[in-house]
Chains A and B, each alone.
Chain A
């Protein structure tokens, strides 16, 4: 059973470009979470999605960031008009359900560098 897959692993963008980060959850998991890790900091929750639904986006910046988890295909975190402050590691996690007893399994992350 493959783990959580994220691609690309490394992404370099210039200021003003768009970044698209992809996350394929573990097989059988329908709940996806995105976290951001700034340099030398812990992970911060961004958004929680189920198939075709955003459940909680309270950790997402109000502008330029969006996330989706379509019925088919991976979850996408999209950052428009990137700025240097967006440089970070973005981790996706998945779980079979959203209950408090469900372990979240993390992917290897996408390291975004904005030049």
Chain B
């Protein structure tokens, strides 16, 4: 079945460091891909998405490119802030079951001043 694999955390960075969180997927067809962020004690917020190959999603300085050839959707940010500390979830939604989001296990990011 469809699945999402994320790099394990926690990822600890100093402020202004470069961030990469790896995400790869397995799916039939052409899924849509998402990154959600969960701040402590809160629900998930959509950070960015891409719906087809080579699309780049971007928001708040974060970006991710849908790479069909490597089945990847890595999250990047050039300069992290303390306020970016959160858990980041990669997810896919397959058009064959278009309503069901399939999540990775999440990667905790801790940014130190």
Contact = CB atoms under 8 A, between A and B. Distances in A.
A103 B44 contact: no
Contacts of B89: 42-43
A103 B100 contact: no
Contact of B100 (A56, A91, A109): A56
Interface residues of B, number: 25
Interface residues of A, number: 29
Interface in B8-23: none
Contacts of A2: none
B104 interface: yes
B43 A104 contact: no
Contact of B101 (A31, A98, A104): A104
B42 interface: yes
Interface string B87-113: 001010101011111111110000000
Interface string A90-108: 0101010011110111111
Interface of A: 4, 6, 31, 33, 35, 40-45, 48, 55-56, 59, 91, 93, 95, 98-101, 103-109
Interface of B: 4, 32, 36, 41-46, 49, 51, 89, 91, 93, 95, 97-106
